[in-house]
Structure 1
Amino acid sequence: MRCEWLEENGLRFLSVDYRGGMSKDEMLALLEEQVSEVEGVGQGARVLILVDPNDRPHPDFLDAVKHAYRERMDPAGAKVAFVGVSGIGRSVVRGLQLMAGGLGALAFPSRDKALEYLAR
């Protein structure tokens, strides 16, 4: 499944997998599923987002991400960790963080490091 709730070491988090050469429409649908799940939790959802560093998301998708984070995920108090973001992608994540008004979203080199961040 591309969007599912998991629990490891007492940490419950939403795992969202954008890897695998998805189309723009598939990515937009997954983003909507992700945001709906986060909103359904109430405050403080933890989200692990897996991406492929070789995939270049469509600009329309990045714009939708910016709005989703600013208008829906940030108000829900979501804390987000990305895994698989390349060097330039880290700049994109940082830009999303700034445009979303300080959303708690950071990029990590490994799943373990990302989960450590989400657990804090």
Structure 2
Amino acid sequence: MPEMDVALKDAMQIDGAVGAALVDYNSGMALGTAGGSRDFDLTVAAAGNSDVIRAKLRTMEMLGIDEAIEDILVTLNDQYHLIRPLSGRSVRGLFLYLVLAKSRANLALARHHLKRIESTIDI
């Protein structure tokens, strides 16, 4: 899937990017990854963050909130984890996952870049 590879490569160009993945949140499977390290397994993180999205969607349904999730931010001591569910018809059930080094990242710009990258993905 060339579009996915290009999208992940673009995500890794974001200042502070440590890793990126395109993930199916129904199965928890990473369809593609870029970056990461021996100490940070993106496929494990992708599966875990699938649970985060599913939990949030269930909660919104119970509360009767009929809106789309733009993104979910998890802030750690040294990292930002951005989870962006994709909204196009051909990409339902997928999300972009981006891990940023907090010391090198601009969160607002990273969110802006992920939104742009999302618009280029058509699987």
TM-score bin (small chain): 0.3 to 0.5
Return the TM-score normalized by structure 1. Answer: 0.33
Bigger proportion of residues as helix: 1
Return the TM-score normalized by structure 2. Answer: 0.32
Structure with the larger RCO, 1 or 2 (CA within 8 Å, 6+ apart) = 2
Bigger proportion of residues as strand: 2
Decide which structure has the larger Cα Rg and report it. 2
